[in-house]
Amino acid sequence: MNVLLIGSGAREHAIAVSLARSPRLTKLFVSPGNPGCAEVAQSVAIGVDDHEEVVRFCLLNKIDLVVVGPEGPLVAGIADALAAAGVLCFGPSKAAARLEGSKAFTKEFCDECKIPTAAYRRFRQIEPALAYVRAHGAPIVIKADGLASGKGVVVAASLEEATQAVVDCFDGRFGAAGSEIVAEEMLVGQEVSYFALSDGRRAIPFGVAQDHKRVGDGDTGPNTGGMGAYAPVPFVDDAMSARILAEIVEPAIRGMARRGTPFRGVLFAGLMIDRTGPKLIEFNVRFGDPEAQVLFERLQTDPLELFAACARGELGGLETRMSGDTAVGVVMATKGYPGQTQSGSKVLGLREVARLDSTRVLQGATVVRDGQICANGGRVLTIVGVGGDLKMARRRAYDAVRAIDWPEGYFRNDIGLRAAP
């Protein structure tokens, strides 16, 4: 099969590495990709926001399947454009992608499908929102309704912080994404990321990981797109996984089918698990970053077979198999992230680190300048260590991180310690 992978982060690098191993693969293209992706795929310059250009490329190059990494193109309807041209796409339609594209829609959808989630209110005007926040008090969660690159959610510990979050949304800090907000109760427990594949009618588990979203050690500082992850998650056993599938994922798949907008692709349920069970924080319609980096390192099933089956609506009889190893992924980011960052610093030692045992270097915001890998944004690398247990996986990941020569970068030191005995 000829495959086009869309995206440019470490998530896409991880997917590209996994797809490149498939015996079903004929040719793998990636757009826009990054220098890491270019080692296993042919990078092509396509305006992925121009759906007609993407379709023309697919028809000209006889692409059998398009795999969409980030949420933006899906929410914009790229799967619909491909379907109209007869090209298979691993990723949901524009209507189904509203599960990530609108937090207000998803909350009402949860009510409709009886999916357990936090109590909430939605607002389109600032004054009623501020009045509600003052009456409710803190802690409280304020969410911009639309896509905000992982930065539109504030878990406010104080009334002042909550008020500022509301003002930021309506003042345009997140553009059109903040023209409506959701204010919801703060759930308490263990946060996990659960992934399931769906062909529109059925769903199968893909894997569970735990992300570390705060920028600093000990879960301090602002939220980021994710500073690291590990898998598997020891407190999500087979029984809990079955509950998540039955109480959250399958009702969502049935609900989307009832609406006439069947969901095909990967459904990412961000969950809070407490003593009563799992509750939905939010749905995403693509693989997480950095969760994908650890999940694909453990994947033993051919991803191309799984992705194509989802796109065709023929997932029946397939299952996902993961290795028994533990994987720990540590994100290396440019200092200043998630705020203002400086691009252009050289990242040295990648070739040497890539040769270390049971370690993988996945590139995100990187670029080649004068033959040298350089930082080109916030989250630059994810270093994944794999081992027979958490201790070994952490040691391999951090040995590799500390061997990289990049003074302008930083990382958290405590990825995976939530699972430590």
Q: What's the pLDDT tens digit per position in 209-242?
A: 999 999 999 999 988 999 999 999 999 999 999 9
**Dihedral, CA of residue 94, residue 283, residue 3 and residue 254, to nearest 10:** -70
Instruction: State both tokens at 299.
Output: 């994947």
d(CA 373, CA 390): 30
Question: First CA to last CA across the chain, in angstroms?
Answer: 44
What does the H/E/C string look like for 94-136? CCCCHHHHCHHHHHHHHHHHCCCECCEEEECCHHHHHHHHHHH
Would you tell me which CATH number, out of the four given (1.10.3210.10, 3.30.1490.20, 3.65.10.10, 1.10.760.10), belongs to the domain 120-184?
3.30.1490.20
pLDDT in tens, 305-342: 999 999 999 998 899 999 999 999 999 999 999 999 99
For the cut 80, the answer to whether the pLDDT of residue 137 exceeds it is: yes
- Average pLDDT score over residue span 117-143: 95
SS3 assignment, position 405:
strand
The CATH architecture of the domain made up of 326-419 is Alpha-Beta Complex (3.90)
d(CA 279, CA 344): 42
CATH number of 2-93: 3.40.50.20
**Cβ–Cβ under 8 Å, residues 88 and 308:** yes
For the cut 90, the answer to whether the pLDDT of residue 391 exceeds it is: yes
What pLDDT score was predicted for residue 84? 98
The CATH architecture of the domain made up of 188-312 is 2-Layer Sandwich (3.30)
d(CA 371, CA 362): 18
Closest CA to 256 of 201, 195, 204: 201
pTM for this entry: 0.95
Within a 13 Å sphere around the CA of 132, how many CA atoms are in the beta-carbon half?
19
Size of the chain, expressed as the number of residues it contains: 421
Instruction: State both tokens at 418.
Output: 């939530």
Boundaries of every domain in the chain = 2-93, 120-184, 188-312, 326-419
Instruction: State both tokens at 29.
Output: 């293209």
